[in-house]
Amino acid sequence: MKITSGPAIEKVGDLASILTNLASGDILFIDEIHRLNKMVEEILYPAMESGVLDIIIGKGPSARTIQLDLPPFTLIAATTRVALVSSPLRSRFSGGVFRLEFYSNEEIAKIVARSSKLLNIKFEEEALEEIAKRSRFTPRTANYFLKRVRDYAQVYKKNQENNGSENLSKKTVNEALAMLAIDEIGLNSSDRRFLEILIEKFNGGPVGLKTIGAAMSEEEATVEEVIEPYLIQLGLLQRSARGRIATNKAYEHLGFEIPID
């Protein structure tokens, strides 16, 4: 299996080199395929449809095209911005286009348990579940929290507080994540600040993206792409044609009194 990413394939020659070095039956995985430039993308079309690579030799009137037969291979691509993948490229994935759902807390807990074994860290089951619950449904975030809890435990020797047990406790996880300002549902300080500004300064909304970005001193793209998605998933935020609106759940989580209409 050969693995690469859209940003790494800058020139047509880069993709041609990758394709010509594939062996029969190989799998080529391209991450962030939406970031392929158009010229590189067009080289993929005949490779995906006919298993050939079109190469232009020369320039001007003397230029000619030759075709190289490619060995049978499977192309798998991934993106978090499917709308940015051009329609011609998307339609050529004849095997199908699939949407992957977020991991459940139970699945994240299994991933954290495996990672803890690889890192030779012993945790109580409740501690692993607590890390999973705050991980924003993302294995990378869960593994990051796992390592930070380990660091905290090593510095403060928290493995000695559990009646001689080497297993790190839920209490240790709570203390370590509190130092990172991660609350019980995985919100960080920026998430909470967003909701607090929305509720305290704008009465819960609706308020426009540009306005709330200015109030936070954050770029609009950061607010829209980094902060808002998780809040929407948790049902703490609504997007409407009029702007952003804090839900009753957001008021409850932050301890604000729910307004009466």
Q: Which residues are annotated as a binding site for DNA?
A: 239, 244
Cα dihedral 105, 224, 212, 177, rounded to 10, equals 30
Residues in the annotated binding site? 92, 103, 140, 239, 244
Cα–chain center distance at 48: 27
Strand, coil or helix: 31: strand
Residues in the annotated binding site for ATP? 92, 103, 140
DSSP code of 160? Answer: G
Q: 149, exposed or middle or buried, with CB in 10 Å at 0-12, 13-18, 19+? A: buried
What's the CA gap between 257 and 248, in Å, rounded? Answer: 9
Buried b (16+ CB within 10 A) or exposed e, 122-138: ebbeebbbbbbbbbbbe
Q: 36, exposed or middle or buried, with CB in 10 Å at 0-12, 13-18, 19+? A: buried
Q: Which amino acid is at 164?
A: G
